[in-house]
């Protein structure tokens, strides 16, 4: 028997999409039965009480979680999001309901053995509920009590060789697209660098030392499957500098209708036979392609590597061989100054272990500047707006480049430094008056 009546959220059990309510109920039932005789370390009926509190929120149209909650594990300044229900007498099973962020493997590949191990741990010491995964990338353990935090952390570290993720004003958990592991478009090993930088900067991740949060994300190509350009303060986006590799025979096979365009992504509708002129050449943003005498040509210097032609004909066109990444900075959500996408800072850099150039010429100079100059709760993107792109170039030492802008400024409010102007700024009004009477 369910502990609480839930007539509103019960309506979310029907329909084809997997129902989180059904799943939550199945977990509540499994805990009530406890067929494995587990010594539950938090209330056995916590899932019932979560159903209850959610139902109450559906009734009231308002959340029933108290503001904030500061809990954690010794040695770290983040990783755990504390939560307390604002009706603890009614729902004692979720009076404490803290979230633990668990650092995920790059690319989110797993073995069933690993998943089983974390299920065992979390079933015993937590609610048995998770998010797979948080938007930043972490495995989210959803709901436990304060005394269990150290116990879970101990088991993670000692038995699973596994750390917590980030939260607070620090480096958050980096994440990546699946990259070279299963994509022919990948221009660098997203997983290798994601893992390397996560380990290199463990201190910055676990102990908040920044003005605000900071995120890294790694996309293997400009398709941006992990959305680095929109969701990370420092975005790595794969690209190449040489020619797109063209297999002319395969181009002919596309034209002949032997291979479906875009790998078959539009198979659900009849769009007519593939027309290379209409679907590729005319849609190229720079008009740098042509198809003549049965041969496809690309004028490489004019190509902006937007991926369209490669996406449409993955068997005929491949990214170049001289690969690396573009680095872009400052993406953030709207609070405070408005949303930002990332801005291009480094048009091209090689991405090869041990990534020394990236660490020493990009990441660390940016952090040095932002840690010193950033105001309380000011994202990197906002600091760049406040102090200017020029300042960013100054602190990183990169030279201004037309690739960094969409267009030159249209207002003439141009700052010059005294040493850029002959004679500097020190002048004498009396000298001036000798030639210009009052």
Partner 1 sequence: MAFISSGYNPKKPMENRITDIGPRKYDEFYPPVIAKNKGKWLYHEILEPGILVHVGESGDKVYTIRVGGCRFMSVTHLREINEIADKYCDGYLRFTTRNNIEFMTDKEENVKPMKEDLLSRKFAGGSYKFPIGGTGAGVTNIVHTQGWIHCHTPATDASGTVKATMDVLFDQFTDMKLPAKLRVSMACCLNMCGAVHCSDIAILGYHRKPPMIDHEYIDKMCEIPLAIAACPTAAIKPTKIEIEGKELKTVSVKEEKCMFCGNCYTMCPSMPLADDVGDGIVLMAGGKISNRRDAPKFSKVVVAFIPNEQPRWPTMTATIKRMIEAYSKDANKYERLGQWAERIGWERFFEKCELEFTHHLIDDFRDPAYYTWRQTTNFKF
Binding site for ligand SF4 (CB under 6 A): 177-179, 183, 185-186, 219-221, 223-225, 284-286, 288-289, 298, 303-309
Q: Where are the alpha helices (DSSP H) in 187-320?
A: 190-200, 202-206, 228-231, 248-255, 276, 308-312
The smaller minimum CB distance to ligand HEM, of residues 69 and 105, is found at: 69
**Residue 213 binds which entry of partner 1, ligand SF4, ligand HEM, none, CB below 5-8 Å type-dependent:** ligand HEM
81/271 Cα distance (integer angstroms): 49
Exactly one of 87, 223, 300, 361 binds partner 1 (CB under 8 A); that residue is 223
**Residues 14, 3: Cα–Cα separation, whole Å:** 21
Q: Measured between alpha carbons, how far is 258 from 235 in angstroms, rounded to an integer? A: 38
Among 3, 4, 32, 40, binds partner 1 (CB under 8 A): 40
Q: Which of 1, 35, 60, 420 binds partner 1 (CB under 8 A)?
A: 60
Among 37, 70, 89, 158, binds partner 1 (CB under 8 A): 158
- DSSP designation for 244: P
Instruction: Please identify, using beta-carbon distances, which residue of 268 and 423 lies nearer to ligand HEM.
Output: 268
Q: Could you give the CA distance from residue 261 to residue 258 in angstroms, rounded to a whole number?
A: 9
**Quick check: 48 binds partner 1 (CB under 8 A)?**
no
Query: Which of ligand SF4, ligand HEM, partner 1, none lies near 323, with the C-beta cut-off 5 to 8 A by kind?
Result: none
The residue from 1, 35, 36, 39 that contacts partner 1 (CB under 8 A) is: 39
Binding of partner 1 at residue 74 (CB under 8 A)? yes
DSSP strand E in 281-367: where?
289-292, 295-298, 317-318, 323-329, 343-349
Q: For residues 159 and 181, is the Cβ–Cβ distance under 8 A?
A: no
Side-chain half-sphere exposure of 329, counting CA atoms within 13 A? 23
119 forms part of the interface with partner 1 (CB under 8 A): yes
- Which token pair is 39? 């010594």
Which one of ligand SF4, ligand HEM, partner 1, none interacts with residue 87, CB within 5 to 8 A by kind? none
Among residues 132, 371, 400, 405, the one that binds partner 1 under rule CB under 8 A:
132
333 binds partner 1 (CB under 8 A): yes
DSSP H stretches of helix in 315-399: 356-358, 364-373, 380-387, 389-396
Q: Is 2 in the site for partner 1 (CB under 8 A)?
A: no
Q: Stretches 191-199, 295-303, 412-420, 422-430: which one binds partner 1 (CB under 8 A)? A: 191-199
Among 32, 183, 253, 393, indicate the residue that binds partner 1 (CB under 8 A): 183
CB-side exposure of 118: number of CA atoms within 13 Å? Answer: 25
The sign of the dihedral angle between the CA atoms of 216, 217, 220, 222 is negative
Of these, 315, 359, 365, 389, which contacts partner 1 (CB under 8 A)? Answer: 315
- Selection from 165, 153, 145 nearest residue 83 by Cα: 145
Gap between the Cα atoms of 74 and 199, Å rounded: 19
The partner in contact with residue 70, picked from ligand HEM, partner 1, ligand SF4, none with C-beta cut-offs of 5 to 8 angstroms by kind, is ligand HEM
How far apart (Å, rounded) are the C-alpha atoms in residues 300 and 241? 9
Judged by beta carbon, residue 162 or residue 239, the one nearer ligand SF4 is: 239
**The entry of ligand SF4, partner 1, ligand HEM, none that residue 289 binds, CB within 5 to 8 Å by partner kind:** ligand SF4
Q: Between residues 145 and 167, which has the closer beta carbon with respect to ligand SF4? A: 167
Residue 434 near partner 1 by CB under 8 A: no
Binding site for ligand HEM (CB under 6 A): 67-70, 81-82, 101, 133-138, 140, 165, 167-168, 173, 178, 182-185, 213, 215, 223-225, 227, 231, 311, 333, 335, 377
Decide whether 333 or 400 has the Cβ nearer to ligand HEM: 333
Backbone angles phi, psi at 347, to 5 degrees: -60, -40
Task: Find which of ligand HEM, partner 1, ligand SF4, none residue 423 binds, CB within 5 to 8 Å per kind.
Answer: none
351: contact with partner 1 by CB under 8 A: no
Q: Which does 353 bind (CB under 5 to 8 A by kind): ligand SF4, partner 1, ligand HEM, none?
A: none
**Among ligand SF4, ligand HEM, partner 1, none, residue 303 binds (CB under 5-8 Å by kind):** ligand SF4
Query: CA-based angle 397:403:408, to the nearest 5?
Result: 100
Question: Alpha-carbon distance 246 to 316, whole Å?
Answer: 6
CA distances from 115 to 110, 123, 369 (A): 7, 12, 40
Kindly state the smallest distance separating residue 99's Cβ from partner 1, in Å: 6
Q: Which is nearer to ligand HEM, 13 or 150 (CB)?
A: 150
Residue 135, both tokens:
């938007």
On the 0-12 / 13-18 / 19+ scale of CB atoms within 10 A, 175 is buried
Length of the chain: 438
Largest CA distance in the chain: 100
């Amino acid at each position: 028997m369910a502990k609480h009546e839930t007539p509103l959220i019960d309506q979310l059990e029907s329909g084809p999409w997997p129902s989180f309510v059904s799943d939550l109920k199945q977990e509540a039932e499994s805990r009530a039965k406890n067929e494995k005789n587990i010594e539950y370390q938090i209330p056995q009926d916590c899932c019932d009480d979560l159903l209850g509190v959610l139902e109450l929120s559906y009734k009231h149209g308002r959340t029933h979680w108290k503001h904030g909650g500061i809990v954690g594990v010794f040695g770290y300044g983040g990783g755990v999001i504390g939560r307390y229900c604002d009706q603890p007498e009614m729902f004692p099973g979720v009076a404490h309901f803290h979230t633990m962020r668990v650092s995920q493997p790059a690319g989110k590949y797993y073995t069933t053995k690993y998943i089983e191990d974390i299920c065992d741990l979390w079933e015993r010491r937590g609610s048995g509920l998770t998010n797979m995964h948080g938007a930043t990338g972490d495995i989210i353990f959803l709901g436990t009590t304060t005394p269990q935090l150290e116990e879970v952390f101990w088991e993670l570290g000692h038995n699973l060789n596994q750390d917590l993720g980030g939260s607070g004003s620090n480096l958050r958990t980096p994440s990546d697209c699946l990259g070279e592991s299963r994509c022919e478009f990948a221009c660098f090993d997203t997983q290798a660098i994601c893992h390397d930088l996560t380990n290199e900067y463990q201190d910055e991740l676990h102990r908040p030392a920044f003005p605000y949060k900071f995120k890294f994300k790694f996309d293997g190509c400009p398709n941006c499957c992990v959305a680095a350009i929109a969701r990370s303060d420092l975005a790595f986006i794969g690209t190449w500098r040489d020619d797109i590799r063209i297999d002319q025979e395969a181009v002919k096979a596309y034209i002949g209708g032997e291979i479906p365009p875009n790998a078959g992504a539009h198979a659900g509708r009849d769009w007519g036979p593939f027309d290379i002129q209409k679907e590729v050449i005319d849609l190229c943003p720079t008009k740098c392609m042509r198809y003549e005498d049965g041969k496809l040509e690309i004028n490489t210097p004019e190509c902006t590597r937007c991926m369209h032609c490669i996406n449409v004909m993955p068997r005929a066109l491949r990214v170049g061989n001289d690969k690396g990444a573009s680095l872009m900075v400052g993406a953030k959500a709207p609070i405070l100054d408005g949303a930002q996408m990332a801005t291009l800072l480094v048009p091209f850099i090689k991405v090869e272990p041990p990534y020394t150039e990236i660490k020493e010429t990009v990441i660390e100079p940016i952090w040095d500047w932002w840690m010193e100059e950033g105001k309380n709760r000011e994202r990197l993107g906002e600091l760049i707006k406040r102090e200017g792109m020029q300042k960013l170039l100054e602190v990183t030492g990169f030279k201004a480049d037309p690739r960094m802008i969409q267009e030159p400024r249209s207002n003439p409010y141009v700052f010059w430094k005294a040493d850029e102007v002959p004679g500097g700024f020190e002048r004498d009004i009396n000298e001036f008056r000798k030639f210009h009477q009052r």
